[in-house]
Amino acid sequence: MKIVSILLGLLALFVVLLLGGAFFTVHETEAVILTQFGRPVGEPITEPGLHFKTPFVQDVNRLEKRVLEWDGPATEMPTKDKTYVIVDTFARWQIGNPKDYFVKLRDERSAQSRLEDIIGSEVRTAVAGHELIEVVRSNTSRNAANAPIKEGADSSALRRAARGRLALQADILEAAKPKLATLGITLLDVRIKRVNYNRDVVTNIYRRMISEREQIAQRFRSEGEGEAARINGRRERDLREIESNAYKRVQELRGEADAEATRIYAEAYNKSSEAREFYGFLKTLDTYRAILGNQTNVILSTDSELFRLLEKSN
């Protein structure tokens, strides 16, 4: 009976081990690859729930189904215009084909290494094929602040990007996606997180930026001075035109007033010979008052009209 009890206990333990090793659960966030002696067996299991495997022979390998991240190291690389920049890139990816992924990469560490190789290579290719303005500007609609781009503007104006960083990111995604698909990886998105200048040239870059801003400011000042000169010219012209019109009107009014005064004088002093003679006498006195003074020496002929009245007064 003692031997039977021992045998029954061993049998129960074997059954427990058999049942425990024959069943496994799959979570909804993972996919399972069954391997037999290190080789994949059957298709990947993606349906969540309880599943069966051959105990002691097959092993369960769990893979993540959720979106995973890749954060690449900041890498120094040259642009098309030979400016060295430090580009920091990140991406989001997913295991698209669990079987190919497991056979070629096995684990996430190997996948991260392959992502760094392929995406990093495509980033360097894209940056090297475009000028710095294309990497810095996010899109083509953005201009430098206070520096509108006009037709015929001088070289100091910051030009508009032809494509922009968003287009470069799309090129990187399009180029890297099929290469990673052969490894069972579905590349969802690639983004450039940060672009920094190389420390060795950052001083020259800042100096160049300051020079460009000074040129833009000088152009604005020149345009302002030219506009001020045009405004002042128009002001002077308008002022002279107003003064000329006013002087013309004053002279017209004076002429009309003199004509009216002459008419009144003529009516007043032309009624008789005595009135006309008196008018001539007054005008002569006005003439004497205008031309004669304390220090005035006048030489007159005897037949002069001016001398005539003086002669009569004597």
Say yes or no to pLDDT of 293 above 80.
Answer: no
CATH topology classification for 68-200: Tetrahydropterin Synthase; Chain A (3.30.479)
Strand-pair category, 75-78 with 84-95:
antiparallel
Nearest-angstrom CA–CA distance, 35 and 32: 10
Structure tokens given for 300: 């007159």
Neighbours of 53 (CB within 10 A): 20
Q: pLDDT value at position 176?
A: 95
Q: What are phi and psi of 167, to 5 degrees?
A: -70, -40
Nearest-angstrom CA–CA distance, 253 and 245: 12
Residue ranges per structural domain of the chain: 21-64, 68-200, 280-314
How far is the first Cα of the chain from the last one, in angstroms, to the nearest whole number?
Answer: 187
Predicted confidence (pLDDT) per residue in 172-212, tens digit: 999 999 999 999 999 999 999 998 887 776 777 788 888 98
Predicted confidence (pLDDT) per residue in 244-277, tens digit: 999 999 999 999 998 998 888 777 777 777 777 7
Model pTM score = 0.58
The amino acid that residue 165 corresponds to is: R
